[in-house]
Structure 1
Amino acid sequence: MAPYTIDPERGFRLATYAMWWIRASVTEYVLHSWSLVRTGTLAAQKKLFFSLRRMKNQLGIFDNGELTPEAAAELSEALNVSERDVIHMNRRLSARDSSLNVRVGEDGDAEYQDILPDEGPTPETLVADQEESQTRHTLLLSALATLPDRERHILSERRLSEEPVTLEELGNHYGISRERVRQLENRAFDKLQKAMLEAAPA
């Protein structure tokens, strides 16, 4: 790349100019090959990547991947970056990538991914939530069936629709005022709640 971008008229030697291109290429290679996760993309992050370990040695800071608040503050001031960036980069440099397909166990018949805990809900919780949702849906349908047609329609359009209809639109539909529609909606909602509570299992 250097031979194609150098400007001879500016007085730079090709060897000197090429050195900077080589250094930049090596820097990019180290950053991209260090981890499967992108380590540094901004100029400040790249500088921190190459300066942090050297500065820790200069200041006599030794850790096992977790910096003390005092050490983080000292490095932050020395490198002119935030403490958060220092802590984050230090953790990245202290830990290498591990494959989820690494064999574990005495016989090596299982992979690391097989023993990772599932932080999601348990099957029992999923089944219980589904049953509760079905129960609420059944109660809702039964309670709606007890309402007069007009109140059921107003309540459905106002509170059960993905795109609620305005009071004015319903008022025009039934030939009544917006305030009357609001009254019917509130009355229908109160009836609905009462019917669902009475029908709900103890």
Structure 2
Amino acid sequence: MYQTVSQPLPSVGSGLTHYLAQIRKFPILTHEEETNFARRWRQHGDRDAAYRLVTSHLRLVAKIAMRYRGYGLPIADIVSEGNIGLMHAVRRFDPERGIRLSTYAMWWIKATIQEYVLRSWSLVKISANSAQKKLFFKLRRTKSAISALDDGDLRPDQVKTISERLKVSEHEVVNMDRRLRGDVSLNSRTNGAQDAGDALERLVDPSPRHDIAFAEDEELSKRRAALKAAIQTLNPREKHIFTERYLNEDPPKLETLAMEYGISRERIRQIELRAFQKVKSAMQQGEPAKRSAQPNGPAHSISSPSLKRGC
């Protein structure tokens, strides 16, 4: 993580419950305090001011990060990626534009986390067979349909129902469910007594924010447009294979596409991978132009790793 702040941030590596307790100690800034610290950082490179901006929004990162726990990735890594996005946002934030840092930072936080998820699961998407992909993308929806929403292991009857609906083995259902559930739920007991079930909901103000809702809608529209434009960079064969394998809810097997094109299964896999990299690259290349319209941080800010968006 590049240096924007002058003091170390709490580490999620010591455990999620401890981390949540630590970040809740940092006060949430008023609009006036936020503007003052942002100006001090932007105009004078005051790293203590940057530290206050970052720490006051760590709970926002945690709340956003928890939405991605369903992918079975380490929650510590997801939160860390989100914190990098937050630091990007603080480095570029301009308080004179009339929006709160939480609204501006949300895009950066999501972008870094989504890139991490994309990076982590791309090999799974490329190498897994059709049944595994179907199980990965449909398991959570199927669990919801049969009200299997507890954090523990599925009951035998639930496993049987899901395996029949998705046409996979019961063993595969159990393995994928455990993988996707990843870390233990926040809704657990702490020290055997204190109820931490609502810890996440207490992290940030739960009242609706119209500016955040608008920003989320705008972000989704931009991502869809970016993906559509990126797909247009593919040749017809790449476009068809990419669309079938990545955007089809029930993607065909490599063998099916190989027979359709009269080439080998391995050749289809290579084309799929090449198309994936092209789309990813095209979406990355669209970022600098958009960022150039945003005011940069102070000239003495230490440059950060490039941020890539997930599709």
- TM-score band by shorter chain is 0.3 to 0.5
Larger Rg belongs to: 1
**TM norm structure 2:** 0.27
**TM norm structure 1:** 0.41
Higher relative contact order (CA 8 A, sep 6+): 2
